[in-house]
Structure 1
Amino acid sequence: MAQIVDTIAQAIKRADKTFFNENYTKQAQAVVDGLRKAGFEIVPVKPPEVLVEYAVENIPFGRLRPSELIRALYGTMVENCRKFVS
């Protein structure tokens, strides 16, 4: 959690050098960009049905250990979330 807070703080600091720091949209975009650059993604708590369907169609087939299946499913959903969530 400390890494996320630090990433957000640094992104806001870099986003707007004006005296009053009034461009909140620019700051918010900088936060999102900073989080993505640090390896994070912002995703909804409940995935949309279209993303679930996509993941079902794109997870690897065959025998996987449960941990491998979970990693593959998680990766597929997080990496493709921006395609299905606006």
Structure 2
Amino acid sequence: MNYQFNAKDILITQLGEEGVAFNSVTNEYFSLNETSFKILKGIENNLSVDAICEQLIKEYDIAKSDCEKQVNTTIQLFLSKKLITKE
């Protein structure tokens, strides 16, 4: 499944290795750790979940199954906060 960044309502800013997302509709800020920021940027850049996991696996040397589980958990959170949508 592919996801799309909600560019209409969401602004993201990098702060060092981490980031912040702002929902202009709800006026909510979301603090993003380094990994969740990379996942959100990957979705913004139209990368598939597999491509995002490949990048994270190379960078963090983690098991593919662990990466997929964590990325999917983060994506569910992003969906619930309307930072992204399903395509």
TM range (shorter): 0.3 to 0.5
Select the structure with the greater relative contact order (CA < 8 A; seq sep ≥ 6): 2
State which structure, 1 or 2, has the greater radius of gyration over its C-alpha atoms: 1
Name the structure with the higher strand share.
2
TM-score (norm 1): 0.33
Name the structure with the higher helix share.
1
TM-score (norm 2): 0.32
